[in-house]
Amino acid sequence: MELISCENLSFSYENIDVIKNLSFKVNSGNYLCIVGENGSGKSTLMKGLLGLKTPSKGKIIRSSGLKANEIGYLPQQTPVQKDFPANVFEIVLSGRLNAKALFPFYSKNDKKTAMENIKRLGIENLAKRCYRDLSGGQQQRVLLARALCAGKKIILLDEPVTGLDPIVTEEMYSLIEELNKKEKITVIMVSHDITASVRYSTHILHLSFDNSFYGTTEEYVKSSMGQYFFSDKKHI
């Protein structure tokens, strides 16, 4: 089932195109990694998919079966966010705000959903802990649980392993893979880690200033762009 279709997308800042004539689609169950050089428009595209930035040209079409409150988002953290003084349960529960519309109060079902996702990510022992006292890996699990509260069909992840040590990075990738393969949650992830992108994804969107690539991971590895970046084990 096609969830998102992007047709001839262009995004610009001050009349300068950051992304130009980009087309791709995301089907249910896909694991799409968005890679590319710095400044190639990865974060801009993510904002567009979230509805936070309007394309200068082209269109983003969401399936009629995909509601705005079924899309979860794990952003890159800022130093201020890392020092947020709420507890873990409160952070995860705030993911339900996406579905609250004008009704500002959490229901019993919202709280139940939050606790289910806390258990889902194996952090129930942290539920009452202050978020800012957690390790980087623990914080990312909390934010992933929050994203799952916001969206049950698709999650968008912006550099989810930045700043994590290698062991915690692998744990995070394994968690995301499990959500995708076992729970059939569609994943769109911005990443600089080309090796992990090829290892875990079903599809690759490589943004480039000259000529972008979109296709299956297998097609990407065989392409000239994939050969240049992956065969030489370079990181984008």
The token pair that represents 4 in the structure block: 């998102």
pTM (predicted TM-score)? 0.90
Residue 51, CA atoms < 13 Å, CB-side half-sphere: 10
Residue by residue, pLDDT tens for the chain (236 residues) are 899 999 999 998 888 888 999 999 999 999 999 998 888 899 899 999 988 899 999 999 988 878 766 789 998 877 767 788 899 999 999 998 876 555 667 889 999 999 999 999 999 999 999 999 999 999 999 999 999 998 888 999 999 998 899 999 999 999 999 999 999 999 999 998 889 999 999 999 999 887 899 999 999 999 988 888 765 554 44
Cα–Cα distance list, 210 to 22, 103, 173 (Å): 12, 46, 30
Backbone phi, psi, residue 6, to 5°:
-110, 125
Helix (H) / strand (E) element for 178: namely helix 166-181
